[in-house]
């Protein structure tokens, strides 16, 4: 779909008053890739001005407690704690299919050795933390910014580190050893992809505005996938000096068919993750997940 087609579609929903919608997401290349069309004006929605805010995922999880942003990236683990304030969108998610957050150490280490180890994590409401605790409940964790974990492991400040974002592709070059790929472990345990992050929208927004925003995000993802080279060139500025080939690989890992639409299997994966979190005592039994109904005939 061309930019002209997208704008023609958006014009049909034009309004006479402009509203600002603040969209918060992580400052990494995959999020930049999926929001390329909206951030650069390739896609415009008459009546809505999109303002983009960049912050790490744990900060966004915490900010969502205060409803700081209209639309925000959140960890799937964090969402049930925010369900009274936000509703999930069925697009813009990050799934790992046979791969995901990686636990690394400065020495060769067996998986069984993780029990009792001090592991650096990017936040206690991140999905990576949840899956780590599902894998080995006996780890001792210390929270630090996600982009500091590689250095902390290399300096042996911690025994191991939990890597998200591009760190999953950079640890070997830093001389570190993989202990376990939690996305692969999850797939072996469940046969499902691992739902890591998602987009949520404030319940206080009108249904019409929420649906309009959801359509815009889905079309932005679609535009990036259809215009991969230009979207990737834009995303490279957020790749933290990563080699373009590695950045391309990373974007391909986390902007995929699940990003356009969770689908039945994606929603099943979310349900399985929440069920296991409840069973492990890592989430209240009353926790729930709700998706925005984008039209009157869609499933909730």
Cβ atoms of 149 and 129 within 8 Å: the answer is no
**List 52, 165, 177, 227, catalytic entry:** 165
What is the β-pairing status of strands 86-88 and 94-96? unpaired
Cβ atoms of 242 and 276 within 8 Å: the answer is no
3-state secondary structure of 14: coil
- Angle formed by the axes of helices 3-11 and 207-226, nearest 10°: 170
Strands (DSSP E) contained in 69-135 are 71-75, 86-88, 94-96, 102-105, 118-121
3-state secondary structure of 205: coil
Residue for token pair 């925003």: 213
Strands (DSSP E) contained in 153-230 are 160-163, 177-181, 194-202
Active site residue 165: yes
Cβ atoms of 267 and 192 within 8 Å: the answer is no
Cβ atoms of 119 and 139 within 8 Å: the answer is yes
Residues with a known catalytic role: 165
């Amino acid at each position: 779909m061309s930019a002209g087609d997208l704008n023609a579609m958006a014009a049909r929903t034009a309004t006479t008053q402009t509203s600002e919608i603040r969209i918060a997401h992580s400052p990494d290349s995959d999020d930049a890739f999926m929001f390329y069309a909206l951030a650069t004006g390739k896609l415009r929605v008459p009546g809505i001005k999109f303002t983009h805010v960049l912050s790490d995922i744990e900060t966004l999880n915490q900010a969502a407690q205060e409803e700081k942003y209209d639309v925000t990236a959140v960890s799937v683990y964090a969402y049930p704690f925010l369900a009274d304030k936000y509703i999930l969108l069925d697009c813009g998610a990050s799934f790992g299919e046979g791969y995901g957050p990686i636990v690394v150490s400065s020495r060769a280490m067996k998986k069984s050795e993780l029990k009792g180890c001090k592991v650096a994590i990017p936040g206690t409401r991140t999905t990576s933390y949840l899956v780590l605790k599902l894998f080995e409940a006996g780890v001792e964790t210390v929270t630090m910014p996600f982009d500091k974990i590689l250095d902390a492991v290399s300096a042996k400040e911690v025994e191991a580190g939990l890597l998200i974002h591009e760190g999953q592709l950079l640890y070997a070059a830093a001389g570190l050893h993989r202990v376990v790929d939690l996305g692969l472990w999850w797939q072996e345990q469940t046969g499902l992809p691992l739902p890591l992050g998602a987009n949520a929208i404030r319940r206080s927004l009108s249904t019409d505005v929420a649906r309009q925003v959801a359509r815009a995000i889905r079309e932005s993802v679609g535009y990036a996938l259809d215009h991969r080279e230009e979207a990737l060139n834009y995303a490279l500025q957020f790749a933290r000096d990563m080699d373009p080939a590695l950045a391309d690989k990373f974007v391909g890992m986390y902007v995929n068919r699940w990003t356009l639409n969770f689908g039945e299997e994606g929603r099943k994966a979310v349900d399985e993750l929440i069920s296991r979190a409840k069973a492990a005592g890592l989430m209240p039994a009353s926790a729930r997940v709700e998706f925005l109904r984008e039209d009157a005939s869609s499933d909730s």
